[in-house]
Amino acid sequence: MSLPTLHAFHRPLGSTGLKVSPLGLGTVKLGRDQGVKYPTGFTIPGDEDARLLLAQARELGINLIDTAPAYGHSEERLGPLLRGQRDEWVIVSKVGEEFEEGLSHFDFSAAHTRRSVERSLRRLETDRIELVLVHSDGNDLAILEQQEVYQTLAELKQEGKILGFGLSGKTVAGGLKALEQGDCAMVTYNLNEQAERPVLDYAAEHGKAILVKKALASGHICLAPGVDPVQASFELLFAHPGVSSAIVGTINPLHLAHNVATVARILGQH
Residue 254: inside a domain: yes
Give me the pLDDT at residue 41, please: 81
The single residue of 38, 71, 150, 189 carrying the catalytic annotation is: 71
Give me the pLDDT at residue 1, please: 61
- Total number of domains constituting the chain: 1
Note the pTM of the prediction, 2 decimals. 0.96
Residue 85: inside a domain: yes
CATH number (domain holding residue 204):
3.20.20.100
Give me the pLDDT at residue 46, please: 96
Residue 71 annotated in active site: yes
Cβ atoms of 202 and 176 within 8 Å: the answer is yes
Task: Name residues of the chain where pLDDT drops below 50.
Answer: none
Residue 45: inside a domain: yes
- Per-residue model confidence as pLDDT tens digits over 196-223: 999 999 999 999 999 999 999 866 667 7
Residue 4: inside a domain: no
Give me the pLDDT at residue 219, please: 65
Residue 104: inside a domain: yes
Q: Which range marks the domain in which residue 69 is found? A: 11-269
Residue 66: inside a domain: yes
Question: What is d(CA 214, CA 191) in angstroms, rounded to the nearest whole number?
Answer: 10
Cβ atoms of 93 and 68 within 8 Å: the answer is yes
Residue 6: inside a domain: no
Round the CA-based radius of gyration of the chain to a whole number and report it. Answer: 17
Residue 98: inside a domain: yes
